[in-house]
Chains A and B, each alone.
Chain A
């Protein structure tokens, strides 16, 4: 028998997915803005960040209401909890996209460092694909896909370490690169953090399906996160 709760849950689920798509787009735009050093696009991302925050608040409010009014149990409870937790992860991922937009503006027309450009390009591709994949995993409630995505996070962490090593090396070779190199460092860190948040969403998808609260990648958590 269909309950009012089911309709509201379906709506909540759709709103969450929509917010996920928005965050995914913003991350893609942030990566593109940095790659192309497009300050105008970067400023747009910064100006529109409040949209993500507003959606987070609206979704949180709705989940609180549904808990108070329907006292959900079993799968119903897990679906609500998953959205309540994952929505914060998405919002934080969005904050890092905004940081990347700030970095784009700060970088301005400083000289690019090819080796770091290449590494960050790779990280950008991995991150944007990972965000898209986690949404698919959420929509399909695909626990296996969620577990597999954690491997991408480990790859991102490795690349982040590589960027760090190379940035310090560039600063050592030529102190004039210092500001530029530190921006590469920050952007790599932001992308790596987005990977961590997406991994957290993966953990909530696993919880949704299995009821198990697990830690994917516990050994590889980035020490500087």
Chain B
């Protein structure tokens, strides 16, 4: 059995008065892909953002309950959000490269941390871009603007930027919904390669994407976790009727 790297217990989140997460208990083993699915407004993205404290930036948010990364409370008063976001990186729906070169995008995190060794930085750039399966396409243009790349390439560079700081967990919030089918499959192939070394948690509206790539799938509805199981069980024989109705397209 692999160890649990991330645990959430009785997690509630309120936007002002509105309760968006109603007591989520969900744990993640190290390595592999977990997909979070559910209708719009079900709380899956909100939940994802609690996992590296992205909701801190939103005013009027109250969070109760416990999230632990390797046994340490993420919301402890002395927790360092910069350190947390290094360990638990995030990729967003819209590719968001910084307006710099591809190279500078990838090493951004390391630069911030003060790394100056050129050889080391070069090595990290190549390794990260290779892991993100975009190296061959950009290796001759490393010092050109990342904004000149296609959406799919930008998104893979964004994944490389996360990988460059050696995270343990990668959170992805609908990373392919702004991309065409070919770019989407490239991202999926990239994630399938990364799942052996990283814990990947992905929010997706694309049920087929969840079924194609996720080892485990969690179904959210109305701020609650309805069901979590091996993906094949969720898609072939879910325990809850709500899950079955959603998966079969009867609502949502």
Contact = CB atoms under 8 A, between A and B. Distances in A.
Interface string A1-36: 111110000000000000000000000000000000
Contacts of A71: 208, 211
B132 to A, nearest CB: 15
Contacts of A3: 185, 188-189, 212
Contact of B185 (A1, A64, A68, A69): A1
A65 B232 contact: yes
Contacts of A69: 211-212, 231-232, 235
B94 interface: no
A70 to B, nearest CB: 6
B189 to A, nearest CB: 6
Contact of B186 (A1, A4, A64, A65): A1
Given A68-B235, A69-B231, A4 B211 contact: no
Given A1-B185, A4-B192, A68 B212 contact: no
Contact of A2 (B189, B232, B235, B236): B189
How many B residues touch the partner, as a band?
A: 10 to 19
Nearest to A64: B236
Contacts of B236: 64-65, 68
Interface string B39-67: 00000000000000000000000000000
B125 to A, nearest CB: 24
Nearest to A65: B232
A164 to B, nearest CB: 47
Contacts of A68: 211, 232, 235-236
Nearest to B237: A68
B212 A4 contact: yes
B212 A5 contact: yes
B179 interface: no
Interface of A: 1-5, 64-65, 68-71
20 contacts: A1-B185, A2-B189, A3-B185, A3-B189, A3-B212, A4-B192, A4-B212, A4-B213, A5-B212, A64-B236, A65-B232, A65-B236, A68-B211, A68-B232, A68-B235, A68-B236, A69-B212, A69-B235, A70-B208, A71-B211
